[in-house]
Structure formats: C-alpha cells, structure tokens
C-alpha cells in the first residue's frame, strides 16, 4: 500500500461505526424510559432517537423505579496535592442527573454480538441503545461488519433471560450494575409461571465466571427452576425470544438506590446464620474492622503497605483480601463490618452490604477521578472518605499504577471517622 493510498480497513471500520450510529434504536419509548431525565448521552442524540424504538421489543413492566439525582454530601478527602483534592472535591460535590427506571423487556428474533443486542431490519443492524451507551463503547464493540452471520440460534423452548452489561467482566461492576437486575425474574415469572428459566451470561474468564455463578446462587438460593448458561463472547447468537432488563445504573454517575437495597436485603436474608456466628465472634473483640487488601499482581498496589498495616492493626483492623474468599464470605464480612478501610478496586464494591452510616475509607492513587465509589456510598447512605497518595510509575496502565499513602493523612481521616 502506498503512502497516499487510503487505509481501506480504517475506512471500512469508520463506515460500519457510522452505520450503527445511524441505526440505533431505543429499547422502549423515550417518554417511558427518559421522562424524568437520565439519558446517558447528549440531548441531540435523544432527540434523534425519540421516534426510533425497537419494533420487536415489548416492555413488560418496571423492575426498579427511576431515581432522582442525589444531592451528595461534601466528600471528605485527604492527602495528595491541594490542587487535585480541590478539583476532585468539586467534581464529587456536583449535582447528579436523575436515573431512568429499570424495565423488563421481551424481544423476539434478536441477536447478541459484541455484548450488544441488535435486530436486523432491511439488511441493517439496529442496535438497542441501552446495551450500547456512549460511555461504554470502549468495552462494548457491538456487532461487527459480518453482523448477518449467526453462530448459533437459541430457540424458544424455554424462557431465556440475558444478564449482561459493559462491565460484566469486572466483579465490582457485575455486583452493582448487573446482579440486582435479577429482581426482574419476579416479573418474568408472572408472564411464564412455573416454567424453568435459563440465565444467559457472556463468558469472560474462569475466575470471574465462577464468582458470577456463585453470586447468582447466593442471591436466588438453590432455585431448581433457574439454570445458568455462559455464552462465547466471540460468537453471534440469535434468539427466537429473549428477556432482558435495561440498566439499573448510569455509567459511573448514578446508581439506583432501590436496586442496591434489593441486593443488600436479599443477600442479608441469605446469610443470616454466618452473620450471626460472626457477630458472636466479634463479641470477643475481633473481626469487625476490615482492611480490604489488594494482591500486588493486580496492579494499584500499596507501596508502603507495612507502615499502613501497622497503623491499622494498632486500631484493631484485620486484613481481608476478597480475592481469597468466596462470594458468600465476602458479603458476610462486609455486612457485619463496623468500619472498612480499603484499597480502591472491585473488592470495595462489597461495601454495598455494609449498613448505612458505616465508616468507609478508600485509599486511592492521586489522579483517580472515577466517581463510582462516591456514587455507591451516596446511594447506600454512607459518607465517602478517601485518602490520596502519589503514584509510582510502572509498566501498568495509569489507573493501575502503584501508590503510597502518608500515614499522617490516614490518621487524620480515621480520626474524623471517630477512630483514634
């Protein structure tokens, strides 16, 4: 190829991207989904999509109601540079948009590829916007140029409910953004009473797939009427009929309090006995203050871990690595925690199980601007505290750089939380 000849592959990719953009469709009517706001995109895009609704998708009912944008409490931030801390405090204190309701849908003759749902109309891929939101497209590829290819057709012999999102490969996003939507099964069973249901999940890695399977069983119990099937993320599936639920959160910027309350309530119901046993143990003086560790092989390791641990152990904290515990034990430990300090990461999503008002403190590398955990705290009725520290450059992506925490900053944050 000469230097002046256009890159045909890049041109074809741009044309396909444009094809999808021109043929996005809403899962349900805009007046129902975004009546009170919460559209995760520009207003101009919503205006273009108002008349474009999937003709093969039926909205069956509401799983969780829409929610107003929370008015966040002033974040309590420590450490790091003054400039970054001031900038982050302003960002976290800003008003949040409202969130749309979560609805259960039934789509017929629909396909799944690139983690997005789409139908084919007049030879064009019409992608459901709610499975292909702008902020998530860096990890949701959508159907490729060969979208007409079908690797497997799944018939309508038994109801199939698809549970997926852009972040399903990450346990924290799975726990907060996906798992609560299993509440949709209550509606589905009104439509299909006493019929076995297959939960379809896109497969990622053995360890995360196993954790997702166990978390489903924790939430639902040993329900013989529900089976789980993992789908190959590199294949295109065609469903004669497919149940699915719209998101229960906005990308990083909002989470349904109703969805999180449902999740926490169900899991607490399923863990009464182990929580009671842990409470008995705690009467002897241990196990209720958690330091949530993170394996250094995962990136974002704490460089001065030993001085930090010495400080926390002096206050009665116990080291707990969620990766070394099964899903049930993670939920139990966080549900019974009196205080949690932890390195920012998926394991800290378990704070959803902590009681409202539980002191929670995140250790975060300076430069981390993701509001995910601040939003989680606000939706769960918890104060958001974070201690920032300088990053240490390495070969990992920036958000996984190791970092250190100044013990004096941690001491100040703990004192404000009532731990001296």
How far apart (Å, rounded) are the C-alpha atoms in residues 278 and 89?
36
pLDDT of residue 299: 79
**62: alpha, beta or left, given left = phi > 0 and alpha = psi -120 to 50?**
beta
pLDDT band at 89 (very low <50, low <70, confident <90, very high): very high
Tokens 């017929």 correspond to what residue? 108
pLDDT of residue 6: 56
Q: Which whole number is the average pLDDT over 281-297?
A: 77
Q: Which whole number is the average pLDDT over 96-114?
A: 95
Statement: residue 196 has pLDDT above 70:
yes
More reliable by pLDDT, 157 or 58: 58
How far apart (Å, rounded) are the C-alpha atoms in residues 290 and 303?
19
| Span of 14-23, 34-43, 106-115 with lowest mean pLDDT | 14-23
pLDDT of residue 141: 92
| Percent of the chain clearing pLDDT 70 (strictly above) | 97
Statement: residue 283 has pLDDT above 70:
no
Statement: residue 63 has pLDDT above 90:
yes
Would you say 390 and 404 are in contact if contact means Cβ atoms under 8 Å apart? yes
Domains within the chain, CATH numbers bracketed: 8-62+100-258 (no CATH), 271-416 (3.40.50)
pLDDT band at 148 (very low <50, low <70, confident <90, very high): very high
| Cβ neighbour number for residue 306 with a 10 Å cutoff | 9
In 23-71, the DSSP E strands lie at 57-64
How far apart (Å, rounded) are the C-alpha atoms in residues 405 and 420?
18
β-pairing verdict for 160-162 and 226-231: unpaired
pLDDT of residue 286: 54
Q: Which whole number is the average pLDDT over 92-120?
A: 94
pLDDT of residue 300: 87
Would you say 57 and 106 are in contact if contact means Cβ atoms under 8 Å apart? yes
Please give the mean pLDDT across all residues of the chain.
91
Statement: residue 2 has pLDDT above 50:
no
pLDDT tens for 345-404 read: 999 999 999 999 899 999 999 988 888 999 999 899 888 899 999 998 777 777 788 899
Statement: residue 72 has pLDDT above 80:
no
């Amino acid at each position: 190829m000469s230097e002046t000849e256009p890159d045909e592959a890049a041109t074809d990719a741009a044309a396909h991207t444009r094809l999808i953009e021109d043929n996005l469709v809403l899962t349900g009517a805009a007046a129902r989904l975004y009546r009170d706001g919460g559209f995760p995109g520009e207003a101009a895009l919503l205006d273009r999509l108002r008349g474009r609704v999937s003709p093969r998708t039926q909205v069956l009912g509401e799983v969780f109601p829409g929610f107003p944008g929370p008015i966040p409490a002033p974040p309590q931030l420590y450490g790091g540079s003054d400039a970054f801390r001031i900038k982050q405090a302003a960002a976290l204190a800003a008003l949040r948009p409202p969130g749309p309701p979560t609805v259960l849908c039934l789509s017929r003759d629909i396909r799944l590829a690139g983690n997005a749902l789409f139908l084919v109309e007049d030879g064009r891929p019409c992608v459901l916007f709610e499975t292909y939101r702008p902020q998530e497209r860096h990890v949701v590829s959508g159907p490729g140029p060969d979208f007409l290819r079908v690797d497997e057709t799944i018939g309508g012999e038994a109801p199939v409910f698809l549970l997926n999102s852009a972040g399903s490969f990450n346990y924290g996003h799975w726990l907060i953004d996906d798992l609560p939507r299993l509440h949709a099964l209550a509606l589905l069973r009104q439509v299909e009473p006493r019929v076995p249901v297959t939960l379809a999940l896109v497969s990622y890695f053995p360890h995360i797939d196993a954790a997702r399977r166990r978390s489903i069983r924790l939430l639902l119990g040993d329900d013989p009427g529900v089976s789980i099937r993992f789908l190959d993320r590199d294949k295109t599936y065609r469903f004669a009929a497919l149940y699915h639920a719209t998101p229960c959160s906005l990308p990083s910027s909002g989470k349904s309090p109703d969805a999180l309350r449902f999740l926490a309530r169900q899991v607490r119901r399923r863990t009464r006995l182990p929580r009671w046993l842990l409470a008995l143990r705690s009467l002897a003086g241990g196990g209720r203050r958690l330091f949530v560790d993170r394996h250094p092989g995962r990136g974002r390791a704490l460089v001065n871990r030993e001085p930090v641990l010495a400080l926390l152990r002096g206050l009665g904290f116990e080291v707990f690595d969620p990766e070394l515990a099964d899903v049930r034990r993670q939920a139990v430990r966080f549900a019974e925690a009196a205080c949690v300090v932890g390195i920012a990461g998926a394991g800290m999503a378990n704070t959803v199980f902590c009681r409202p008002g539980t002191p929670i403190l995140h250790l975060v590398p300076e430069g981390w601007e993701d509001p995910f955990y601040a939003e989680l705290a606000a939706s769960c009725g918890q104060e958001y505290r974070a201690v920032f520290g300088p990053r240490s450059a390495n070969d990992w992506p920036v958000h996984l750089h190791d970092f250190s925490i100044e013990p004096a900053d941690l001491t100040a944050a703990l004192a404000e939380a009532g731990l001296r």
